Structure 1
Amino acid sequence: MYTLSKVMENSEVINFSSLEKEVQATLEADRKYRRENDAKFRALNQNVASYEEFRDIVLASHLKPLDRKDISEAPRKQPWNPVAYRTKQESNSDEQDQLHLSEIEPRSASEFIRDWRRLTGGPFEKYDLLVRLGGETLEKIFKTEIGLGLLGEFLLVLSRGLKPRDVYRVIGVLDGLTRTGRFSLGLSLLSQAEKKASVELFQKLQGSIDKHHSAKDYSCDGLELHEPSLQDNMNDISAKLKEVTEKYNIEK
Structure 2
Amino acid sequence: MDADGAVDPRALERELRAAVAEDERRDRENEAKLRAMRQRVPSYEQFRNIVLASHLKPLEKKDKMGQRRNVLWNPCAAHAKVPQASDVEIPQELDQLPGTSAEFYRDWRRCLKSRKLKYQFLLELGGEALGRIFQADLGYGLLGEFLTVLAENVCHEDRDAILQILQSLSGTKRFGLNLDLLSEPEKESSRDLFRKLWSMSREYWTAGHPSSAAGCEAEGEAHLMDASLQNKTEEERRVLELMKCYQIN
Q: Which category describes the TM-score, using the shorter chain as reference length?
A: 0.5 to 0.7
- Counterpart residue number, 2:6: none
Structure ID, larger Rg: 1
Contact 1:99–1:118 (Cα < 8 Å) also in 2: no
Question: 5+ unaligned residues in a row in structure 2: which ranges?
Answer: 1-57, 70-89, 209-231
User: Is 1:92 aligned with 2:90?
Assistant: no
- Output the CA distance in 1 between the equivalents of 2:131 and 2:238: 17
- Output the CA distance in 2 between the equivalents of 1:191 and 1:93: 36
Q: Which amino acid aligns with 1:205?
A: L
Partner of 2:207, secondary structure, is: coil
Q: How much does 1:121 deviate?
A: 4.7
Q: Which amino acid aligns with 2:64?
A: N
- Counterpart residue number, 1:241: 239
Task: Sort the Cα spacing of 1:235 and 1:147 in 2 relative to 1 into closer, same or farther, 3 A.
Answer: same
Q: How much does 1:116 deviate?
A: 1.0
Which of 156, 168, 178 is matched with 1:186 structurally?
Answer: 178
Q: How much does 1:164 deviate?
A: 1.1
Task: Sort the Cα spacing of 1:96 and 1:197 in 2 relative to 1 into closer, same or farther, 3 A.
Answer: same
- Output the CA distance in 1 between the equivalents of 2:103 and 2:148: 21
- Output the CA distance in 1 between the equivalents of 2:179 and 2:239: 17
User: Is 1:206 aligned with 2:195?
Assistant: no
User: Is 1:155 aligned with 2:147?
Assistant: yes
Q: How much does 1:155 deviate?
A: 0.4
Which of 101, 104, 125 is matched with 1:133 structurally?
Answer: 125
- Output the CA distance in 2 between the equivalents of 1:101 and 1:201: 30
- Output the CA distance in 1 between the equivalents of 2:110 and 2:174: 25
Runs (4+) off by over 6 Å: none
- Output the CA distance in 1 between the equivalents of 2:147 and 2:169: 10
- Output the CA distance in 1 between the equivalents of 2:140 and 2:118: 17
Q: How much does 1:215 deviate?
A: 2.7
Pick the structure with more helix per residue: 2
Partner of 1:195, secondary structure, is: helix
Identity of aligned residues (%): 34
Q: How much does 1:93 deviate?
A: 4.8
Task: Sort the Cα spacing of 1:100 and 1:248 in 2 relative to 1 into closer, same or farther, 3 A.
Answer: farther
- Output the CA distance in 2 between the equivalents of 1:110 and 1:204: 31
Question: 5+ unaligned residues in a row in structure 1: which ranges?
Answer: 1-85, 217-233
- Counterpart residue number, 1:9: none
Which of 159, 164, 172 is matched with 2:156 structurally?
Answer: 164
